[in-house]
Each structure stands twice: as C-alpha cells, then as structure tokens.
C-alpha cells in the first residue's frame, strides 16, 4: 500500500472539467446538492423529446458564469440521454455562414464517439435499427458482426428499415453511407464518410454506390436526425456562443468585427430551423448571462419563445458538506489507483474546515484544492488544509533549481526510456491511434508545462475514438482571438489511406476557411518511412490533397530524436514520475524537439543558430579557379588558398555546397573540410569578380553595411515578398518600385489596401531612417518619375478597363502561344458565363466556348462585342458538340448579362493598351501606374479586373520584349494569396500563372507580396528567383516560410525575431542574408489615405489618358 504523499503525486494538476471532458466516461459523477434545479430541468427536457412522436421540442438555455459547472452539466446530459438510448451531439460551431455544414460534421462526430450502449454511437444506431426493423440474421451478421457489407446485404438492410416508416425512403442514401462508414474495410468506410461530408463518391457496384450529386449538409442532418429518432431523443449542445460574441467584439482583426447582435440573430434563426428540420431533438444552449441577455435583445421574440425559461446555475456551493463531497469524488480515482486508503473520503480536506466553500464556485474550490495538494507534494508531507482562500491570480510554477544532482535520477530514467524507443514502432496504420496519438499528447502536455502555460488557457485534448479526423487538439485562449492547432500523426504511406487522413485533417482543422472564432492551424506529423513518403503516382488525388494541405497547414516528417523524446515523455507521464513537472520546466525536452519548434517557435532561451556566410547579390563574369583533389578531415585539415579581391568563391563537395564570403584586396579565403562525416573532396568551381553598383538608390543594407540594389536581371525572373502586418512590407515594395523606376523601369502597381497611392507624393519633411543620399534620390525621383493613379470602376476618378479578350494578332502566328492565349481567355470567361465544373453539360459548354473563340480569333480578331455576335450566330462547322449553336447562344446571353451587371467587365471606362500604363511622358524616365481598387468593392470584381489586365499584358509583353535592357516593365501584385491562391477558386488564377511562366521570357518582371507563404500557389513561388522574408508572427506561417526558403537552396530564417524594416533576402539559391530596409523615398505616413485623398491624388498625378 502506498503512502498519502505517493498517492497525491499521482493526482492531476487540475481537477476542473473542461468542455472536452463532456465525452469522458471517467469524468467525475454528479454530486448531490450542486445545481440540482438545472439537473432536473435537463432530465425533464430529455423526457419531453423522448415522448414526442416526431417533432422536436423547445430548447433549454443553461446560464452561468465561468466555473459554475456548465461543461459538467452537459456531460451529465450526455450520460442521461445515452442511458435512455438517445444521442448527444456537441455542436462544433465555427462559422455561422457554414452552420449546417458544421452541424452535419458534429452529428457524424457524435456517431463516431463512444456510446453507453455500444462501442460507438453509429454501432448503437445500426443495432437499434436492426432490432426494430427485424433485419434478417444473415444480413445482420454481415453488416454488424463481420462488418463486411456488400450491395445485397446493404439493400436488404435498407429495405427492412424502410418498413418501419414510409417517410424513411428519402434517407436510403444516407443510411447506405452510414453502413459503409461502419465497415471494417477502410476504403469502404472512407467512401461512406466522404459522402456524408458532402464529397463525391466513385461508382462502386459492390456496395451499390452510384455517382450522384452529394446531398447538401442540411439534408444530411435531416436524414441523420430522422434515423436517430427511432432510437430515442437527441440533445444538441451549443456551448461556443460566448466565443462567437467575444470574437465579434474583438478589434484584433478588422474583418471579424461583425456585430454581436447580427451574429446572435443569425444563430437564433438557424437554431429555429434546427427544430423544424430534426425529430425528437432538444437544443441546450449553454452560455454566460450577458450572452443570453444579448441573445434576447438582438433576436425576435418568436425565436426566444422557442426556448424554455432559462436555468441559472448556482454562483457558489451550498455548504461545506457538499464541498467535501465534491472533493471526495475527484480524489476517489486518485486513491483507488494508488491503493491508498484515506482516513476519510475528502482527505486532506476535512469538512469542518470547508465552511468558506459557500463563497466558492466549483472551479474555484477545485483550483484551491489543487494548489494545496501541489504544496504538500513539494514539501514531501501531507497536511490537512487549515482554511480556503479564493485564488484570483494565475498559479505560477515554483522556482526550479538547475542543479544536475537534483534531477539526476529523472535524467537517467529519461535517457533509459529514450534508448528503449525505436522509430519503427511508429510506422503502420495500427500505430497511429495506439502509439502516436498518446505520444503526441504527452509531448504537447509537456510543452504546456515547460512554457508555463495555464491549463485553462492552453488546453491539450486527445481524440477519443480511432475514427476521428485528428489525434490531438490544442487551444490557446490567452490572446484576444483564440488559436487552435489540430495534430494528426500518420504512419502509413499507402496512397488511399494518406488521402483519407489528409482530407480528414484538412476538414477538421477548417483549413482554407475564414473562422472568426479561432485562428486555425493543421499539423501532419509523418512517421511513415521517409523513402516511401510522397512516392505516389503524379496527378492522383493524394498528391492534390497533400499539396492543398501543405498550402494551408504544416507537414512535418518526424526525426528519430523527436520520436524517442515523445515516447519517453509518454511513459513518464503515465507513470506519474515524482518531480516530473519541475524537471520538465528545468530541462524542457519537448520544447527542444523539431516538431514543437516548427509549430510554436524555439524556446525563449534558444537563440537562432549562426547564419550562413554573407554573399553579395550581384553576379558578374566568372573566373575559373584551380581544381584541388586533396582530401581533408577534422583531424588533418587541408586548405585551398585562392586570393579573392572583392569577390565571392563557391566550392562544391561530395557532401554538399559551401559559400565563402569576399575578403577584400590581397586577402586569402580558406575553404576547410566539408562533406560527408566531416570529409569531402573540395574543388573551387568559380570565382565571381566585382560587379559595379548601379546608379540608383539602395533597397537596403546588409549587416556588414554593404548596399543591396535592385538587380534588374534578377527581377525579370520575378520576386516574392513574404511578410506579415507591421513588418515594413509596404515600405520594401515602394523601395523596390522607386529604385527600379530610377533605372528607367515603368511599373503597374495594384493597390488593394490603399497604401500605395502616395507613390507620387513627396515627404513634407525628410523622415528618419533614410540612408545617406536618399534626400537627393527623392528629389531625382520626383523629377524623373511620373506617377499616375487609376481608379477602375470609379467614374469620378480616372476609370480604367480592359477588354476580356487579349490581342490575338500578337500571337496568331505562333500556334503554341495562340493556344495558350485561347486557353487563358476561355478560363477567364468560364466563371462569367456561369459554366461550372461538375456536370457533362458544363464540359460541353466549355468545349463550345473554346472552339468558338479559337475560330473567331484565328485571324487576330479580339473585339469582345464581335465575339458575342459570333456566338449568337455560330457557324455550323465551328464545333463538333451537339446543339452547339444553342449552347453558344446561351453563353452569349449570360456574358451580356455580366457586362450589364459588372461596371468593369468589358469596358466600364476607357479601354487602354498597357502601353499607356507603362510609357512615360516626354522628359520622364519611367511611369508608375497605381491601380487603386476603391471602385471595385468585391473580390470577384477585383479578380476579374486583374484577369483582364494580365490578358492584355500577355500580348503586350510579346510585342515589347526587353531586347536592349534586362527589364521591360514591372507588375506589382500585393495580397497575392487572393489572386493566385494555393487552394480555392480565383477568377485570375489561370491568367496569373500563365503570365508568371511566360512574361519572364520577354523581360516583364512580376513582384508578388503576401502575408501567407503557403497561401500563394506553388507555381508562383517556384517562378520567383528572388525571395524576401519579413517578420511573421504565426508559427505555421513561419514554418512555411522556412520550408520555402530551404527548398530554394537558402538557409533557415528566424522571422519572429525581426523588427519592422528588417528582412532576409534569398536570391539564386544563395544563403539567406539579413537586410535592413530604410524608409521609402515617397510619402508614407502611418495611416492609409482616405477615398477623398485618393481621388485628389488622381487629379494631381500624371497626365490624362490620351494626352
């Protein structure tokens, strides 16, 4: 039998019930005397729903402040309804615009969770349906016993169930998908889940699944509720309303400032629809009292009347006896598992010393008890509590002594446990839930302790069942807007399994969606064999989904060191090793793993590693060096001496590459031993001579004070800037534009955020942080550069538009380029013509459009009105598609409607050639055309305009190649992730990708900027030779930026530590180097200009079109 101190060492650090404990079967039972009226109201409401023949009943508001027991009561509601054969659905409400999709997902989550009457809710549903419908034994055994369904058994099961109620006929496809989901065969189960989640399922005659349009999520909810009502009542618990209101009131993100009243009204309307669409269902709405008051104030009386009178939870415990009973319940499993017999159930909290509990909420009491127990453990002796004190401040960890001898035994145990782990045990499907999930959970729990996070603010929760789409969820509630990380381990490399898991994680993490409540991140932790990972057939769905996930989340291949660390931490956590938490805070093993640093950043005391050697960005004539075949090692170093006057040396070796910095006149640079295992054959490949600096202002300065200039030859190969808000990204863009313009390069600058319209305005007084000579350069810019501000869609400004069709005459003589131009134009017209991608009818329409445009443009014709007339009277020989003339006429009609509805599309404003935008007036060196979007309020209008602009530039670049200069022009695209996203639609995606790949041949440079490194299409990133990296705060985006940098041959960058105006530059595969960017030459105050100021700038810059 263990002692009291040994038993209490096994106690959890926090006894409070969290929302995720609602599903925990081992969560503490209800204590008589706490919130008894609420318990009775919950039981009554469930009975009302159960007694209802079909209709759903009114909802029940459960109102109380934090710590009053709302989560505990919802857990008790789950137990009550499941004991009676019903279901509990916790509504995972992330976005009210996706209400029904979220609700359908929550129903499926509930079916995958354990049920008190069966292994899962789905098993209980199918077994109950089989019992009620008297399904034949053979069919029952095949579907519920063997779990190997096929078409005949599924059809007979459905036929039997339909006999219970004729109205169930409409649920047959949903029921078929549920039976498939219950299958032991993973491919069949995945197909069932895909259908229920709104995805398309391939035709499969073996299980009777035909290809059909997926059901909308609202209909899926209706079907599921109808089937579940046969078993009993359903409780839908909504407990995230406070988060929605809090997020809407937060000023942290402008686009999430939608009023709480509008959100609550929208929620109320949707909850009323839930009552109408479901059967035998009741909604429990758990929220703060202020939220309920706001709900009543902003919704109609009809909505509030669909709820019962609210139940208000007790503000405090009723007596010391009830407090003692609560403490006895939470301590019971601690004493039971340790084998210790306490003197009394609530030991060491005697009931006579708990009289202050009447001033405590349940959570306050449990936190005070946890603090006392931790004090006892730290002292090594258990003492009874003398009195309770309310804990109003965060509990700080006690000081940690760093002496090695203090943790010597734990260090030795940790090393022993690590040595026993093998990374091979993490490979395979079976290991994912059994091994990898608890390893991840232990690592994240350890990280929370090491970083001093409050357990109520930094919540780590493991998944409950093996069919969930994730393994561990982490929520950080410490900021103005909560952050959420969803982790999934994957031990298989099999394509179909990977596809399903990645798609599940992507959807569960809500990647690619605008979540106003939380900032979402997805992390895929890969333990599959590295030599087999990503060895799938190119072009398959698994590739598509892994790339899509990579664009929004993080894909991290595990290292052996990480795996061993997490395995050892899991074992120590399970064994409740004494002194474990102080040891974690001292040693920080989890914080030092690659996984945690990639997701959350390095530990505070960890400094960034040394950067690679600094190399100039200029290139120049190559001077061949000597070849030396000598070998060297760490014990016997040999060097190759070569004088490098103002030059850079590059050496290659069997083990990799090394870059050697310039060392000055007459000095010598030494190349040491490199390569595999500190050995390598070194040969000096090339020495680049000094390249004169251009006569133009510097973009910035390196740490050694050398200037960085705009390399026009490199800019023709495109540039991308990755930097977050407040990083100085706009200043860097302006500095590049200004430097290029002073070298005679005109630019078209897209201005979606109104912060580039002052490129033609001089500073009233010189700003701080200019480089020496910048004042003279600012004067030269004002004299030599012409800036014109355009406002497409805004007639009071300087309107501008482009025709939907490019100038085909420029490419008509080149079959390949002509085909590219036709394809690009067709892809831009398809959304305007309302041609989708899902049906054969859409395919036929697109084919007719393509054939018609190719025939019309063959002679160089590019007039859009002429093309519409051509479509309306399509010659018979143009298309091979049946009824092509009718299809063409409908397309023409739809496009004419688009012209009417969109003021920019096809000519709202003067149709201009890009030459007008890029050709300066006489006496000027360059023209900077700033295209402001104040006249294009919607994203669709902006993308449509950019699409038309790029189509015109495609033809212009071919006609105006850069023959006698490195760069003919520059196109600047800020917020590039909205124009060429890594996933999701965009009207200008195809034109942006086509221009990025073709324009560089003719010397037209493109400058992209984004706050999301992986939000931009990978073909854009791959087409950019020069990368700039500025400060980014989100760990997932930092990791994505590092991945991009290293994939381009650069080195790792520590973006979170950068200040505004500090950047890393990576060009032509050279190591990244720090650059400080000064203030721009033109006026850039802290606030963006107003609409009136922009319109005033239109009248004060440049010449009118045609002058």
Note whether 700 and 730 are within 8 A (CB): no
Structure token digits, residue 118 = 């069966």
Which residues fall within 8 angstroms of residue 1078, CB to CB, at 6 or more apart?
700, 701, 735, 769, 770, 771, 774, 1061
DSSP string, 47-79: HHHHH-SSB---BEEEE--TTSSHHHHHHHHHH
HSE (CB half, 13 Å, CA atoms) of 975?
Answer: 15
Confidence at residue 80, expressed as pLDDT on a 0 to 100 scale: 96
Q: What is the pTM of this model?
A: 0.51
DSSP string, 298-314: HS-HHHHTTBPPPEEPP
Confidence at residue 827, expressed as pLDDT on a 0 to 100 scale: 80
Q: State the Cα–Cα distance between residues 1023 and 721, nearest whole angstrom.
A: 13
Domains of the chain are 32-78+239-307 (no CATH), 92-238 (no CATH), 316-393 (no CATH), 404-600 (3.40.91), 638-688 (no CATH), 700-802+910-1100 (3.40.50.300), 814-901 (no CATH)
Bridge partners (DSSP) of residue 969 are 1004
Q: State the Cα–Cα distance between residues 771 and 567, nearest whole angstrom.
A: 53
Q: State the Cα–Cα distance between residues 974 and 730, nearest whole angstrom.
A: 9
Confidence at residue 81, expressed as pLDDT on a 0 to 100 scale: 97
Confidence at residue 482, expressed as pLDDT on a 0 to 100 scale: 81
Residue whose structure tokens are 């405590």: 360
Ordered mean pLDDT values, 10 residues apiece, the chain (1107 residues): 80 69 76 94 96 92 89 93 96 75 90 92 96 95 93 92 91 94 86 82 60 81 96 93 65 47 83 93 93 85 88 91 94 90 94 88 87 82 80 40 64 93 81 90 94 85 76 85 90 86 87 75 90 74 84 88 94 85 91 90 54 31 37 36 39 40 40 38 36 78 90 90 91 96 95 91 93 94 94 83 77 81 83 78 88 91 88 90 91 88 64 82 94 88 86 81 84 94 85 85 91 86 88 80 67 77 81 90 92 82 45
Sheet of 472-476, strands arranged across = 458-462, 472-476, 482-490, 518-526, 554-557
Q: At what angle do helices 217-228 and 260-277 cross, to 10 degrees?
A: 50
Angle at 426 between CA 421 and CA 430, to 5 degrees: 130
In b/e form, how buried is each residue of 681-720, taking b as 16+ CB within 10 angstroms? ebbbeebbeebeebebbbbbbbeeeebbbbbbebbbbbbb
DSSP string, 356-412: GGGG--HHHHHHHHHHHHHHHHHHTS-----------S--PPPP----GGGGHHHHH
HSE (CB half, 13 Å, CA atoms) of 551?
Answer: 21
Whether cis (ω within 30° of 0) applies to the bond prior to 24 is no
- Cα 123 versus chain centre, distance: 33
Quick one: which of 1029, 1017, 1019, 1060 has its CA closest to 722? 1029
């Amino acid at each position: 039998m263990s002692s009291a101190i040994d038993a209490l060492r096994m106690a959890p650090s926090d006894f409070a019930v969290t929302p995720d404990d609602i599903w925990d079967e081992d969560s503490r039972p209800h204590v008589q005397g706490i919130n008894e009226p609420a318990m009775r109201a919950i039981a009554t409401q469930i009975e009302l729903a159960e007694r209802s023949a079909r209709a759903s009943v009114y909802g029940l508001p459960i109102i109380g402040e934090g710590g009053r027991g709302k989560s505990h009561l919802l857990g008790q509601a789950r137990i009550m309804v499941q004991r009676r054969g019903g279901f509990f659905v916790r509504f995972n409400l992330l976005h009210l615009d996706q209400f029904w999709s979220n609700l359908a997902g929550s129903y499926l989550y509930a079916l995958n969770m354990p049920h008190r009457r069966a292994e899962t809710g789905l098993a209980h549903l199918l077994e109950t349906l089989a019992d009620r419908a008297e399904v034949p034994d053979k069919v029952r055994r095949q579907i519920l016993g063997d779990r190997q369904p096929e078409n005949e058994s599924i059809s007979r099961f459905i036929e039997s169930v339909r006999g219970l109620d004729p109205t169930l006929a409409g649920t047959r496809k949903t029921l078929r998908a549920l039976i498939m989901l219950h299958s032991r065969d993973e491919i069949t189960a995945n197909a069932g889940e895909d259908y229920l989640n709104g995805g398309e399922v391939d035709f499969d005659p073996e299980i009777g699944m035909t290809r059909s349009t997926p059901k909308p999520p609202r209909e899926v909810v209706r079907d599921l509720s109808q089937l579940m009502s046969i078993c009993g009542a359903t409780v839908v618990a909504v407990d995230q309303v406070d988060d929605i209101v809090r997020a809407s009131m937060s000023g942290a993100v402008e686009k999430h400032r939608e009023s709480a009243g509008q959100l609550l009204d929208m929620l109320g309307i949707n909850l009323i629809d839930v009552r109408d669409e479901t059967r035998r269902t009741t909604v429990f709405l758990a929220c703060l009292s202020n939220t309920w008051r706001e709900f009543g104030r902003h919704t109609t009386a009809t909505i509030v009347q669909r709820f019962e009178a609210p139940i208000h939870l007790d503000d405090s415990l009723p007596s010391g006896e009830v407090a003692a009973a609560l403490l006895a319940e939470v301590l019971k499993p601690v004493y039971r598992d340790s084998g210790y017999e306490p003197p009394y159930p609530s030991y060491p909290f005697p009931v006579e010393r708990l009289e202050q509990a009447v001033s405590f909420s349940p959570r306050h009491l449990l936190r005070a008890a946890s603090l006392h127990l931790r004090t006892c453990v730290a002292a090594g002796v258990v003492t009874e509590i003398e009195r309770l004190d309310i804990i109003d401040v965060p509990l700080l960890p006690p000081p940690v002594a760093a002496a090695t001898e203090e943790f010597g035994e734990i260090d030795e145990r940790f090393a022993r446990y690590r040595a026993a782990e093998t990374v091979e045990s993490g490979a395979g499907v079976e290991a994912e839930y059994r091994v990898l999930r608890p390893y991840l959970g232990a690592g994240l729990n350890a990280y929370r302790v090491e970083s001093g996070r409050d357990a109520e603010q930094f919540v780590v929760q493991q998944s409950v069942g093996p069919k969930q789409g994730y393994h561990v969820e982490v929520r950080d509630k410490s900021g103005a807007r909560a952050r959420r990380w969803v982790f999934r381990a994957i031990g298989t490399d099999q394509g179909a399994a990977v596809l399903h898991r990645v798609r599940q994680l992507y959807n569960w993490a809500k990647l690619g969606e605008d979540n106003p409540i939380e900032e979402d991140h997805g992390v895929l932790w890969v333990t599959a064999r590295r030599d087999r990972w990503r060895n799938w057939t190119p072009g398959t769905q698994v590739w598509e989904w892994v790339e899509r996930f990579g664009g929004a989340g993080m894909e991290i291949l595990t290292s052996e060191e990480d795996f061993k660390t997490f395995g050892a931490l899991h074992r120590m956590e399970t064994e409740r090793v004494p002194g474990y938490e102080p040891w974690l805070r001292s040693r920080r093993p989890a914080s030092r793993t690659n996984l945690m640093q990639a997701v959350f950043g390095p530990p505070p005391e960890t400094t960034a590693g040394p950067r690679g050697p600094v190399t100039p960005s200029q290139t120049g004539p190559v001077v061949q060096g000597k070849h030396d075949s000598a070998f060297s090692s760490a014990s016997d170093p040999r060097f190759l001496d070569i004088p490098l006057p103002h030059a850079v040396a590059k050496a290659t070796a069997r083990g990799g590459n090394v870059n050697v910095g310039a060392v000055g006149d007459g000095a010598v640079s030494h190349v040491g031993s490199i390569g595999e295992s500190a050995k390598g054959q070194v040969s000096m490949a090339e020495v680049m001579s000094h390249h004169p600096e251009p006569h133009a202002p510097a973009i910035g300065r390196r740490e050694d004070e050398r200037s960085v200039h705009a390399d026009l030859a490199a800019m023709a190969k495109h540039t991308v800037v990755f930097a977050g808000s407040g990083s100085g990204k706009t200043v860097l863009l302006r500095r590049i534009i200004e430097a290029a313009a002073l070298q005679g390069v005109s630019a078209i600058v897209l201005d979606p955020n109104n912060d580039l319209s002052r490129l033609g305005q001089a500073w009233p007084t010189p700003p701080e942080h200019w480089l020496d000579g910048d004042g003279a350069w600012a004067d030269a810019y004002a004299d030599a550069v012409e800036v014109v501000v355009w406002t497409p869609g805004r007639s009071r400004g300087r309107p501008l538009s482009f025709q939907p069709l490019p100038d085909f005459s420029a490419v008509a003589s080149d079959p390949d380029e002509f085909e590219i131009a036709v394809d690009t134009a067709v892809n831009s017209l398809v959304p305007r013509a309302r041609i989708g991608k899902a049906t054969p009818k859409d395919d036929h329409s697109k084919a007719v459009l393509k054939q018609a445009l190719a025939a019309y443009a063959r002679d160089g014709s590019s007039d859009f009105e002429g093309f519409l007339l051509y479509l309306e009277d399509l010659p018979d020989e143009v298309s091979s598609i049946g009824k092509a003339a009718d299809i063409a006429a409908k397309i023409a009609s739809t496009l004419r409607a688009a012209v009417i509805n969109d003021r920019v599309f096809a000519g709202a404003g003067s149709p201009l050639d890009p030459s007008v935008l890029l050709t300066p007036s006489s006496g000027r060196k360059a023209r900077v055309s700033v295209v402001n979007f104040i006249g294009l309020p919607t994203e669709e209008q902006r993308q449509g305009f950019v699409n038309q602009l790029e189509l015109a530039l495609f033809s212009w670049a071919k006609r105006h190649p850069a023959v006698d200069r490195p760069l003919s022009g520059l196109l600047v695209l800020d917020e590039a992730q909205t124009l060429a996203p890594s996933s999701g639609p965009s009207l200008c995606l195809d034109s942006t990708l086509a221009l990025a790949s073709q324009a560089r041949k003719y010397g037209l440079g493109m400058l992209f900027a984004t706050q999301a490194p992986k939000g931009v299409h990978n073909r854009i990133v791959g087409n950019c030779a020069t990368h700039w990296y500025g400060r980014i705060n989100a760990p997932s985006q930092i990791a994505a930026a590092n991945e991009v940098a290293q994939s381009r041959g650069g080195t790792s960058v520590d973006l979170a530590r950068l200040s505004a105006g500090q950047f890393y530059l990576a060009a032509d595969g050279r190591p990244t180097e720090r650059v400080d960017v000064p203030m721009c030459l033109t006026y850039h105050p802290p606030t963006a200009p107003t609409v009136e100021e922009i319109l005033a700038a239109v009248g004060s810059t440049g010449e009118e079109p045609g002058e």
